[in-house]
Structure formats: structure tokens, C-alpha cells
A and B are shown apart, each in its own frame.
Chain A
Amino acid sequence: MEVVGENIKRVDAYEKVNGLALYPQDIYLEDMLYGVTLRSIKPHAYIKVNIEEAYKLEGVVKVFTAKDVPYNHHGVVFKDHEVFCKEKVRRIGDPIAYVVAISEKIAKKAIEKIKVEYNELPAVFDPIIAMKDDSIKIHENDSNIIHHFKIRNGDVDKAFEECDVIVEREYKVPQVDHAFLQTESGVATIDKNDSITIYTSTQYPHYDIIEIAEALKIEHEKIKIINCAIGGAFGGREDITLQIHLALAAKELKKTIKTVYSREESFLSHSKRHSMIMKYKSGATKEGKLKALKVDIIGDTGAYASWAINVLRKAGVHATGPYEVENVWVDSYAVYTNNPFSGAMRGFGATQVPIAYEQQMDILSKKLNMNPIDFRLKNIFKKGSKTATNQILSEVIVIERCINEVRKHIDFSKKGSGIGAVFYGTGYGNGFPDVSKAIVKLNKEGKLELYVGITEVGQGAKTIICQIAAQVLSVNTEDIILINEDTSITPDAGTAAASRQTYNTGNAVKLACEKLKEEISKKIHSNNTNLKEVYKILDKDSLIKSATFTAKTTVMDEETGFGDPYWPYTFGACGVELDVNEKTGEINILKAVVALDVGKAINPKLIEGQIDGGFAMGIGYTLMEDLRIINGEIKNKELSKYLIPTSLDTIDIIKIIVEEEESSGPFGAKGIGEPVTVYVAPAILNALAHKINKRSYEIPITPDKIINLINSDKSKE
């Protein structure tokens, strides 16, 4: 019986389609109090907070500030966030106080009564200025540069001398928002034993517990997270937002507290995709061989580090694109400013660099008078290729196949056509322990209980995991009871990020199920015994199996960047045909084709859904989205002003799933949640340049900018 590879219907679809799925904002409990957060309106200032007037309002229960938090720090890598700012705010939106009242309305009124005296400090919003020694500092560090990632491979200067063509360009991408539809929300309760339960939507519930316990100075065992239905995440739910506030209030007040963020507060509270300035110098020989690459990347992480180190590292590792280049020099910097903070967003640094490296490929090919596809294929990664970090790609590499698949549908000689070819490394990277755990248990009904702390953000993780378990144990997915939402009974499956859940947690689930299968087959030799019978016959303790999977990754050398940071790599190519209305500046995408490396498709329909969604998000990134941050302030904190694609902005696309099993993947599968968006922007930008003979080095390329581009004298390619 085959379950893997089948279009099994999503296990959570019925609830969602009937409006029954419970998101945290849907929870209404008896005697619930409401919490509302006061946030900074200045980008950089010393503050004095006076809460007296707020207390005078009837119905206000408590106003929490920094002095109420036992350990007032949190952060995914550096603990540089304060739960509530004590003396200084570093960005607009920094939390200062949290009012708990008998109603949301009263809490909101009380917020307005809190007096915050801002003693403004000079602020820095430009990362290039922030990098200078004499810049004002955002934190108590000597420099605002929090990370400098380097690759030093070969002799770049000498190699450039041997190049026949060299292209130097600078590319800029803005900070953008995840704009998941469900704003942050949560409910916290406390029982007689002082155990706190938090109902929320998070990408990594087990890590939230660590952060909450640390801030409140209580034991991990005293906190439980129920990870409710999650209305999209895309990286924006990795950094903690309201979880500590809720837990603190429940602990101190011994009451149930609820908080729901408005859209505006959602924009203010979670991370952004890093804006980057990417300077590229690429050289090739007249035979069309890439020879040298020098890249300088500056990533603005805003007021807090979040995942900046990891994002700028990932950008650096992916700077070449899926191409062999013998001589590579990369400097990638993560820099603090007083802008909104940047962190994880779908693609995690590997989304920004293709905008540079794939446009460089087209410009180079034009200079070489070569077909851009042939030029790519001359340099493309193959089995045995070395990446810029000297990682040897030992698996079969399908990027050439992906490009050829796309080529079948798009005539790249036609004006207005363009390609984006990419690679994406799965996992946390750089030797960080990338671990997933799973437990499987046969119950007396003959059903398999699967305990795994996997997060369903909408990507289909629950369904994929059930399919993997069902395949190993030769049962239907209906026979799998997945328990994934309660941290007190599920083992840690790591975060729903880095496209790692199918691969990493899928492997852990597969291993646990294989152990159980082996246990059963050792004792029972007949294949016809049903699982209910098995339960009766065998020792119950032997029917519980757990497994851990840890991904391959090595720490990179600090000076050269050498190492094997990610495993596996996933590949993809996208081709588009577009038209430009030269009067209005509007781009009309006429046709789009995606060929995606998936290893093995556990559920083809779910993959198609990811491809469609990733494509739409790519359209938004390329053509529409920009937070319009001026002096640290987001000017469009509403969905009426921060525009994301509607059904009229997307098109039906041709989706080609390319299968070539990854030897270390569960049934050969790889993760694809992020790869599905990273090829879109370069494909559109290359198609645009092809159409109007002028190139955009910045996104989003909105109609007004296209008009300017068309009318500009600079037609440099």
C-alpha cells in the first residue's frame, strides 16, 4: 500500500473549511482579563515611564513594566531584546508596558493614560553609516556590526585579471513583512499548582518555553504551550512577541489573560525580511566560464539581532547561485540600526541574493554574446561540484534538469522572457545541532499515536508526517493519531523553519516508526496480524519507540568560510513571460513555469500549493511590497497600504515536480517551503530587462518606477 507519493487530503482541512479550527483569538474563557501593550513611538530615546494615571481608571488590574520582569531579556540568538524597555527604546514599536484590565477597551484607554517621557537620542537608519566607527551605537557594543561572514576561496584578484568580461553592479532590496493573515494572539491560564498554560500560535513552542522560563525565572516544567491553529508564519513567528507578557501576567495575577494584536501592532511587533545592499563583481572568460566573484552584502537588521547572523551567513553561502566559481570572495555584514528589526522570512537570506546573482548571469551572458541559458548550463552545479564554501555536492544534482524542463515551456529568445535558477540549503546551518525527536506508540485500538512537536503553520506538516508514519507501518493515515500541539506531552521537533520539517522531523518520525515495525516483526512473523491483535500479544512497553534525527552540518572556518553548512541543497528554476504597459508601467505576467527539485514528493498536491503560494509571495516581493520606512517608522502598517497580491495579481502557473531521491531524506524527500519563492524575483526582473532593454537593480519595481526606468537615459545592462 502506497501512502507516500499520494495526494492524501490534508488532515486539518475539514476543520478549516468549516470555520472550526481554533486560532488563539477564538478562545473565550470565563473571567478573562485583557492585556494591551504600550509601544515606543520614538526610534531612539531614553524613557521615563509614569503609570499612575492608568491605575486611576476603573477596571485596570495591573500595569506591567520592566521592573516586574525577573530577567528582562530575550532573543533567539543574542538576548538583546528587553521584555519591556527599561531606560531606552531602540526602535518604534519597542514594548514599554503591558496593561491588564477587565476589558480590552479599558486596557486600551489605560495605555493612553501612561505618560512616557522621551528624551530623544540621535538615531541611525542607514546601515552604511551605522557601520562606521564613529556612528552612534544602538546597543552597548563597540560596533553596530554584529557579524561579518567571510568566504575566501582562491585568488580573486588574479582571477579577475584573467577574465574577458567583468560586470559590477549594486542591488538593493527593502525590508518587507510576512503579512500572515492571522495577527498574533494568545491566552494564558494558571492552575492551582502555579503551572502556566499559554495558548498561542508559534513556529517553535519548545523554544518559547525556554525563553519564557528564563524571563520569569521559573522552571520549564511550569510552562506548557498549546500551539493552536496558526494563520501563516513565514518566519514571522520565530521571535517571541506576546508570550512572555501573557505568562508574566498569568503568573502574577493568577488569572486568565488574553491578548490579540491589531494589524498595526502585528506590523510593529514581529521581525521583517532583511533589507540588503548587495555589491556584485562577476567575471567570466570569453568561453563562458565563470571565473571570479566578489560580493559585498550589507544587511540591515534594525534594532535587534534576531537571526541576523544566520541570515547574512546564509546570504553569503548562497552568493554564487547554483554555479561553480573557482575564485570567490564574500563579505557579508549584519548591522544594527534604529529601524524595525529584521529576522527570519521565507528564504532567510537566500531570497535576496538571487536578485543579484541571477541578474549578473544575464548581464554577463549579454556581454559574452551568449544565450543566457547556455551560459548558465556551462557553469551549473553537477554531482561532485564544489560550492563556494568547498562543500562537495555528492548527491545527484537536478538543477540542469529543472532548467531544461522550464525551457520546454518558455521560449527564452522571445522578448519579455526571463529565468531564475536557484539553490537553497536546508537546515539551521553552520554546525548548529539540528535535531528533531519523535515518539510513536501503538494503542489498544490498534491505532498509532504519534507524539511530535511539529508545527503546522499551513504548509501541511501534519499531513506529511502522518503519511510518512503510515507508509512505514503499512496503515492508512486515518490510523495515525497525531499529537503535536501540547508541549507537555510532545518531544521537541525543532522549529518550523529552514524548510526542515519534512526532512528533519520526517526522518525522526520514520526512524521511530521503523523501530516499532522491527519490534513487531521480531515477535510476530505473520503479516496478517492486525495491530489490535499485536497490542494484545506484545509487551506494552515495547510498543513505544522514540527516535532522534540530527541533520548533517559542520561549522565553517571563520576566515575562509570553508565547511558544509547545510544539508541537503534543493534546486529550482522559474521562467516567466511578461508584458509591460509602457504608458501605465504595469507588468502583466503572461505565463510562468516552475520546475522544482523535491527529492521525493510525499504529497504532490501539497507541493503544488507551496509552489503557487511561493510564486505569489515572490510577485509581491518583486512588484509591490515595501514597508516605506522613514526615520524608523513604517508608513504603511495597514493591509490597505501595505499591498500584497490579490487573486487578480497571480496567474495559473505550470508546475513541474522534479524527483530525484535524496539519500538522506525520508523516502528521499527534501524540504521546499522556502525554495518555492526564491527564484521568482530574478525571473521577473530578467524578463523585464529583456522586454524593455533596461534593468532594475532595486525592488519593488512598481509601475511608477517602471515608467521612470523606461524614460531614463541610462539603459545600461
Chain B
Amino acid sequence: MKNINLYINDNFYNIDINEEDRLIDVIREKINLTGTKEGCGEGECGACSVILNGEIVNSCLIMAFQADGKKIITIEGVKEEDLKQSFIDVGAVQCGFCTPGMVLSGKVILDNYNNPTKEDIRKGISGNLCRCTGYNKIVDAIYNTSNVRREN
């Protein structure tokens, strides 16, 4: 047993964990934020993506104790309604299992680039697998959000 502090979606959690708990286990099972999905368990599919101190990471590859004291954003904490709405508007959602990870990757791309090209976006989401959409509408959703933000 170990005790850690996590700052998830602006909330503070002090929790007991086992040494072998992965970050995804703690997020889903102890904090009950089930929007973070597990698709492969080896950091390949990106369904478990969360933002850790500003960077997109696979929460299945990070041990919970490694996140001690760090700031985490999960899908439930994404405040950028424009980005989420853009996913809905362009039709970037199908089965939905990759969607939380895609939205989070999209957020990080938009945080880091003012004017991402579609190629930048493709690179930015290349760690997130999607079997349904062929990615094009996901790229469009992120790209459109960037365009609209710039226009405003």
C-alpha cells in the first residue's frame, strides 16, 4: 500500500494504492472516471489517453505512484466545449470507444499549435487508433476548431 496525491480535473484526491496499480486502474476503479478506456493494455491504441502535466500519455503504461502530485485531465475534465461540439458537428464519432482519447489528443494539439495543418493533426493523433472512422472526420473536427478559434 502507498498513499498518493492526484489532481484530477481540478479535484484533489488523496488515495491509497497498490504498488502495481496502473494509473488507468486508479482513474477508473478508485475515482470512477470511466471515460478513460482500455483497448490494448500496452500503450498502442491510445483509448486510455489522459493529459499528465500538459502532455498526452497512455494511462495504461504509467504506474499510479508515478503520477503522485501531478495534474491530470481526463475526458470528464475537458472544458473545451467547442472541440467536443466540433466532433459532434462533423460526424467524427462512431462507436465512441476511441473518442475520449481523440478529444484529449485534439486538445493537446490545439494547446500546442495556433495554426495546425491537417498533417500536424494526423501526426498528433497517430498514437490513437480508431477502427470506425478512417480518421478523416476526426482530423476535420480538430482542424475546424482551430479555424473557428482563430477567426474569433
Contacts and interface: CB of A to CB of B under 8 A. Distances in A.
Interface string A447-478: 00000000001111000000000000000000
B47 A181 contact: yes
Interface in A610-635: 611-617
A639 B39 CA distance: 9
A647 B122 contact: yes
A22 B33 CA distance: 11
B88 A263 contact: no
A639 B131 contact: no
B1 interface: no
B84 A458 contact: no
Interface string A1-14: 00000010110111
Given A639-B40, A653-B136, A17 B89 contact: no
B40 A650 contact: no
Contact of A232 (B43, B123, B131): B131
Contact of B44 (A9, A182, A640): A640
A519 interface: no
Contact of B39 (A181, A612, A614): A181
Interface centre among A21, A181, A606, A650 (most CB of B within 10 A): A181
A697 to B, nearest CB: 26
Interface string B126-138: 1111111111111
Interface in A636-656: 638-640, 644-648, 650-653
B45 A262 contact: no
A200 interface: no
B75 A639 contact: no
Contact of B138 (A10, A232, A647, A648): A647
Interface in B31-46: 32-45
A181 B122 contact: no
Interface string B104-138: 00000000000000100111011111111111111
A680 B94 CA distance: 20
Nearest to B138: A647
A229 B96 contact: yes
Interface residues of A, number: 59
A26 B133 CA distance: 23
B10 interface: no
A135 to B, nearest CB: 36
A612 B125 contact: no
Contacts of A606: 91
B88 A458 contact: no
Contact of B99 (A7, A17, A183): A17
Given A16-B93, A19-B34, A613-B134, 17 more contacts: A17-B84, A17-B87, A18-B35, A19-B75, A19-B100, A25-B37, A181-B95, A183-B38, A231-B95, A458-B96, A459-B94, A639-B40, A639-B44, A640-B43, A646-B127, A647-B135, A650-B134
Interface of B: 28-29, 32-45, 47, 74-76, 84, 87-91, 93-100, 103, 118, 121-123, 125-139
Q: Which 4 A-B pairs have the closest CB atoms?
A: A19-B35, A458-B95, A16-B96, A231-B97
Interface of A: 7, 9-10, 12-23, 25-26, 28, 178-183, 229-234, 262-263, 457-460, 605-606, 608-609, 611-617, 638-640, 644-648, 650-653
